[in-house]
Amino acid sequence: MLDLLRADRVVTVVRAPEIGDARDLCAALVAGGIHVVELTYTTPDLPRHLERAASTAAETGAVVGAGTVQTGAQAKQAIDAGAQFLVTPGQGPEAGAIAEAARAAGIPLALGALTPSEVMTALALGSDAVKIFPAHQFGPKYFKDLSGPFPGVPLIPSGGVNAGNARDFLAAGALAVSAGTDVVSPADVAAGNWPDITAKAAAFCKALQ
């Protein structure tokens, strides 16, 4: 996952009330240049979608993980369904259990954080990268400030990142950015508008150049 993020500089975060077909969704994103796909627990029946996406990953070329993971039980459930990485929105009381589940499975983990103290806690728990959320509330300058005490730490801004500000976050030191509704609107995902998603993914990737 981290190698792909260094190459693509973007992960897509999918939040939708329904996913028409997770395999087709991943194929559409890869066709637009985005290979790292985060399906979230805000989508009902997430394990089924994860299993579909993971079982066809060799075909689509996507690396698929689970996001909005908040408990150890969710972490294990996602891993059993084939998740190749885990992402949390923050650090709740079960952050340690989530980290342990990721370690046991040998998959990358990105714990959510906002403050320097939370970044330090995420690193102490073994997070491979740290998701900074909500990034748009503080902007790219905050990312540059974080890079001072945490040089070389893979930081990923999430929340409010779009084609207009993504390059600024990368220039401020982000490993990669999270693309949300700019690329995968809930309506497009639910309706299976795969050509539109491919076009939006390609446009987002172009904006990063």
Residues noted as catalytic: 38, 131
Rg, the chain, Cα only = 16
List phi, psi (to 5°) of 177.
Answer: -120, 160
- Cβ count within 10 A of residue 53: 29
Total length of the chain: 209
C-alpha pair distances (Å), 158 with each of 2, 16, 80, 199, 205 = 16, 16, 26, 21, 16
- Cβ count within 10 A of residue 171: 11
**C-alpha–C-alpha distance, residues 170 and 103, integer Å:** 28
